[in-house]
A and B are shown apart, each in its own frame.
Chain A
Amino acid sequence: MKANCNSLGKRLMLLSLFAVLSLPLFLSSCDGIDCTINNVVTLHVGFYSSEGTELAYADTLTITAAGTDSVLLNRGVRKSAVELPMSFDAKADTLSFSFDGYVITLRVAKTNKPHFESPDCPIVVYHELEGLDFDDPLGQVDSIVIVRKSVNNEPLENIRFYFAD
């Protein structure tokens, strides 16, 4: 019986030794860079008819960031929704929506809040929408409304365009 106990003790000692030696490997294997896959914060804009049904706009659509040479969407076709990056620092962004034959200019006022996830991941900037106004010289749009103020990395709609019939 004593022999059994001793051999059991030796086995446990070996197990302990194994654990001590393998623990650093075990712990290091748990580490990794796991940034959010979709770490781009975008403004989600949806297009609707005046009745509120989703509208896949048949014309080509180009969206540019006013004051820059950045094209956010180049000749998109049959788009019912678009995702647009916002500026990190500015208090308001001006976006130019160029449909075939007319242009709608949208200004969005916002606050900006930097957000970190991990030392290995890039900083993202969240936004809180404070208001908007738009220029629509040809009267193609009934209204543009904010449906969700928080702009973060959740894929939820923020702004709706209601087009006139």
Chain B
Amino acid sequence: MNRLRTFVSILLISLATSSLMAREHKEVIPKAPLFCGAAVFGDLSGPVMLAVGSKFSQLEVGARLNFRDHYFPLCELGIGESTREGQEQNNRFHTRAPYFRVGMDYNFNRKHNGNRLMGGIRYGFTSFKYDFQNPDFQDPIWGGSQKGLDLRGQQGRAQWLEFTVGCETKIWSFIRLGWNLRFKARLHQKKSEFGEPYYIPGFGKNGSSTFGGTVNLIFDVGRTSKKNKVIDVSKTLIKNNQ
């Protein structure tokens, strides 16, 4: 519940910022073309997490379309990995599997100036196998030693929803940089009879909800990258006003 409150706070602050931005610029905004191009993007945080030896990481790419410079239907796919050894128990968990997300972003910035304040929703799903091992352990009350577990290839499956908020800006020509924060709510999971996975690829550390985020390097392709038509419309209007 605390996680949800934090996320809702971030969302409200973002929307308030968007509203202030809109008040600053009161000129009439022209409508962008119906189809403004497409983009492909990759998450930069995954390789960083992999490089610093994080407990879990993901390599993720995606593609999206741009309608009216406001609506961005998209899909994301990646590979999530976790190899985790317990600090006190010498237990070991491992999984590596692909995951998929589909959804849509909405750009709250009414001006077509290349900066975007985004809110969105995603549906994610994955099917994966996970391993769990632990050494022999003692029975402190009844005595004797219990043979350790060596459970490999336990089948897992999960579906979840993500609510995102973030922003992006144009760095150069057809290249953009953006980031977003994500509140993830697990909808359903299938787990082994011996226990649920520690990590779900694409979702993160297993639980009813969690936070996440990505830092995306975005490449506009097609119409937007060639002609920058959306931005040209805005510039034309500025000239007319002057």
Question: Restricting to B68-110, which residues have a CB under 8 Å from any CB of A?
Answer: 84-89, 91-93
Query: Is the Cβ of B142 less than 8 Å from the Cβ of A68?
Result: yes
Report the minimal beta-carbon distance from A13 to chain B, rounded to whole angstroms.
6
Provide the B39-53 mask, 1 if CB < 8 A to any CB of A, else 0: 000001100110010
Give the number of residues in A that approach B within 8 Å (Cβ atoms).
44
Provide the A103-121 mask, 1 if CB < 8 A to any CB of B, else 0: 0000000000111111111
Q: Does A4 contact B (CB under 8 A)?
A: yes
Query: Is the Cβ of B142 less than 8 Å from the Cβ of A65?
Result: yes
Contact among A23, A88, A118, A122 for B142, CB-based, below 8 A: A88
Provide the B139-178 mask, 1 if CB < 8 A to any CB of A, else 0: 1011110100101000000000000000111110000011
In the complex, chain A residues whose CB is within 8 Å of the CB of B84: 119
Report the minimal beta-carbon distance from A45 to chain B, rounded to whole angstroms.
16
Interface residues of A (CB under 8 A from B): 1-2, 4-5, 8-9, 12-13, 15-16, 19-20, 23-24, 26-28, 30-31, 33, 65, 67-68, 70, 72, 85-90, 93, 113-123, 125
Query: Is the Cβ of B113 less than 8 Å from the Cβ of A117?
Result: no
15 A-B pairs besides A8-B21, A12-B168, A114-B194 with CB distance below 8 A are A4-B25, A9-B114, A13-B169, A16-B167, A20-B44, A24-B48, A30-B205, A68-B141, A87-B141, A116-B151, A117-B195, A119-B92, A120-B88, A120-B91, A123-B89
In the complex, chain B residues whose CB is within 8 Å of the CB of A87: 139, 141-142, 144
Q: Of all chain B residues, which has the CB nearest A117?
A: B195
Query: Is the Cβ of B54 less than 8 Å from the Cβ of A123?
Result: no
Report the minimal beta-carbon distance from B124 to chain A, rounded to whole angstroms.
17
Known A-B contacts A31-B55, A119-B85; A85 and B141 likewise in contact (beta carbons under 8 Å): yes
In the complex, chain B residues whose CB is within 8 Å of the CB of A90: 142, 144
Contact among B55, B141, B169 for A72, CB-based, below 8 A: B141
Known A-B contacts A70-B142, A85-B141; A115 and B194 likewise in contact (beta carbons under 8 Å): yes
Known A-B contacts A27-B54, A87-B142, A88-B144; A119 and B115 likewise in contact (beta carbons under 8 Å): no
